[in-house]
């Protein structure tokens, strides 16, 4: 879509790439509020410019660990514009060369779909008012 840019993410063990077209933008990490009974991989909720964003714990999904102090939220592009990935590591926007394409690619759409599938397989059941 972008025609040659990709976001590089450096976690503790590996570097990953995300197609720049799948990204709406990067925001600094604000306070993330945990959500009770959220599916595995959902870190919580945060607020960005009056909008509520669902924050996905990327290291947990990738079975990784944080790398350094720098952390940011990567907002996904539509149709998952209300979703952000928590990335605890350095990020850089680079030209999507062949070398870069050798790295493991994160597909945000599939990621979100997998989480949504988990969410659907375990629908919310309130403790109150339900017989």
Partner 1 sequence: MQKKLAAWFLLVALLYALVGIAVPRLQPDPFWQVILIGSSYVVIGLGVSWLVSYLLTRRLTELARAASVISRGDLTRAVHIKGDDETAQLARSFSMMSESLQNIVLEVSNVAEQINGSAQSLSSTATELNHTTDEIAETTRQIADGAEQQARQVAGTSSTTRELAGSIELVSESARSVLRSATEVSSRTSGGVADVRRAEEGIRRLEMSTEAAGMQVAGFRSKANEIASIVNFISSIAHQTHLLAINAAIEAARAGEEGKGFAVVADEVSRLADNASGFADKISSLSDEIIAGSELVAGGIRERMVISKELRAVIQSTTQSLEQIQQSSRDTAERAEEISGLTESQLGAASRVVASLEQISGIAHLNAKGTEEASDATAQQNESMRRMAGSAHTLAQTSDQLRDLIEIFKLRPRAR
The residue written with tokens 């952390």 in the block is: 71
* CA 67 centroid distance within chain: 16
Task: Give the Cα separation of 118 and 80 in Å (integer).
Answer: 16
Q: Pick the binder of partner 1 from 10, 15, 26, 103 (CB under 8 A).
A: 26
**Residue 106 lies near partner 1 (rule: CB under 8 A):** no
- If the CB atoms of residues 35 and 97 are measured against partner 1, the closer one turns out to be 97
**Residue 70 lies near partner 1 (rule: CB under 8 A):** yes
Phi, psi dihedral angles at 3 (to 5 degrees): 80, 35
**Residue 37 lies near partner 1 (rule: CB under 8 A):** no
- If the CB atoms of residues 60 and 70 are measured against partner 1, the closer one turns out to be 70
Q: Is 44 within 8 Å of 55 (Cβ atoms)?
A: yes
Task: Give the Cα separation of 86 and 48 in Å (integer).
Answer: 14
Closest distance to partner 1 from the beta carbon of 70 (Å): 6
- Residues forming the site for partner 1 (CB under 8 A): 2-5, 7, 20-21, 23-28, 70, 72, 91-93
């Amino acid at each position: 879509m972008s025609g040659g840019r990709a976001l590089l993410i450096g976690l503790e063990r590996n570097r990953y790439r995300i197609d720049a077209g799948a990204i709406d933008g990067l925001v600094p990490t604000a306070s993330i509020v945990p959500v009770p009974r959220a599916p595995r991989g959902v870190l919580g909720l945060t607020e960005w410019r009056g909008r509520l964003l669902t924050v996905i714990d990327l290291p947990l999904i990738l079975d990784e660990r944080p790398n350094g102090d720098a952390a940011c939220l990567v907002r996904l592009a539509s149709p998952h514009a209300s979703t952000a990935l928590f990335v605890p590591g350095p990020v850089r926007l680079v030209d999507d060369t062949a070398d870069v394409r050798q790295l493991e690619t994160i597909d945000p759409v599939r990621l979100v779909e997998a989480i949504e599938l988990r969410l659907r397989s375990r629908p919310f059941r309130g403790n109150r008012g339900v017989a």
